[in-house]
Structure 1
Amino acid sequence: MKLSILLIVACCAIASCELPNEGIMKIALDCAKEQGVTDKEYADFHAGLIKGADVKENVKCMTKCFLTRNGFMDESGNFKADVFASKLEHMAPKLLNENVEKCISKQAENLCEKAFLISECLIQLKLNI
């Protein structure tokens, strides 16, 4: 149950929404379960208590799973700004501007790392709005 609550908050931070729909929630729960992410790992990531090298690979890969299954990132690691905008424009107009470009241009050694860097950046944008 705690993981469900944390993932709702995390999904909202990444997607910058009030409440995620059931599809987003199911994807988040499935990805967390598949990657073995604990309540503490996700809470610490979402709260900004761990960053970069301190984040375990399973948390990074959970963000890849979440972004790809929602259609925000393809399997090659290309962020789909059009999909992001179309799904979130009514919920997050402030995020849908040139600031998102700095997030989606992040480069990394692997797709899990790239997804994590994008997610971390989007969370920071949300916190700074």
Structure 2
Amino acid sequence: MQGAGDRHGPRGSAAGRAGRDARLDAAREQDLSCIVCPVDYVALDLLRAAAARGVRIPEDVSTVGFDGLSDGLDLLGLATLRLPVAEVAQAAVARMEELLVAAQDDAEGPPPPRRPRCGTQSSPGT
């Protein structure tokens, strides 16, 4: 998998176009199965560029965006990941409260940080 648009400048810039084209070239040359884009608008730009070059999404290479820009992206052929922002914010606030309480109660300071969990979960509407 390759990232699109990540270190190659904003969409529409010469650097952004070069990065997007490099990702499409790499997908063809290295027989990659998917190009992961950091945000949906970069993925949409990639879809346009792929169509212009005759690259079929998802037959030749799949693409996925990240942020769930708006409803209906699936109708355009874009898969997107939605981050449950409210849940993540609630968990962050709860963890900060735990650390603050622990720091006040323990003369040695707060407990060590937890290891982040990585995985996929399905939630309603995603």
Structure with more of its chain in helix, by fraction: 1
User: What interval of TM-score do these two structures reach, taking the shorter chain for normalisation?
Assistant: under 0.3
The structure with more strand, counted as a fraction of residues: 2
Q: Which has the larger radius of gyration?
A: 2
Relative contact order higher in (CA < 8 Å, ≥ 6 apart): 1
- TM-score, structure 1 length as denominator? 0.26
TM-score calculated relative to the size of structure 2: 0.26
